[in-house]
Amino acid sequence: MITGPNGIVNSAEVVYEPGVDVKWVLDMSSFADSDSATAAAETSRSVLQTMLQVEETIRACLDDHGAAVARVVHTFGGRDVYLRDGSRIAYRWELFVCDWRCLGCGLDMSTVDEYYMLKNDVWAQVNPAIDGNLCIACVEERLGRTLTAADFTDSPINTSTAKRRTQRLTDRLSAGVSQS
């Protein structure tokens, strides 16, 4: 539960582990005709921190339209607001979860500067499940060797000089590269 400044509970949100980033993506589409499958007259997308913010956004819409609201239909992951003029406002939301924890040691990768991309064959060797994150130490432990520049793709995440990096990652990105 999240409590406000006076200790009053204002949400039933879940507190996630460090390294797990959770956001709600809310799409709004308004249609001139509630029964038509035509393109939306207006659309918007919001990224919100809590489900409470999703509900507050929809409530604000209901407040704005007041007596013009004919009915509200609640669905799993959505809400349709039908207005007396025959138009409809559709809200759809989805939970977006990004787990930044290292699959090997549990290190919160969002707190260190080890963002990189390995070549597909190297990544598949260390993480056959493909999804997830591994810190450099866990990659090397699984490989049984130290990474070299040849293991990394030429993706901007690896080649940009503007990115902050751990010394360990910087060393690996330049390992085996001749300095002419």
pLDDT per position as a tens digit, 110-140 = 888 888 999 999 999 999 988 889 999 999 9
Q: Which token pair is 149?
A: 């520049």
Task: Look at the pTM and tell me if it is higher than 0.85.
Answer: no
Q: Determine how many CB atoms are found less than 10 A away from the CB of residue 105.
A: 11
User: How many CA atoms lie less than 13 Å away from 63 in the CB half-sphere?
Assistant: 6
Cβ atoms of 38 and 32 within 8 Å: the answer is yes
Rg over CA atoms, the chain:
24
Q: Output the CA torsion 123→129→130→132 (10° steps).
A: -100
- State pLDDT tens for residues 22-35: 899 999 999 887 66
Q: Which token pair is 164?
A: 């902050």
C-alpha span between 20 and 7 (Å, rounded): 25
Torsion sign (Cα): 52, 56, 58, 59? positive
- Average pLDDT of the chain, as a whole number: 86
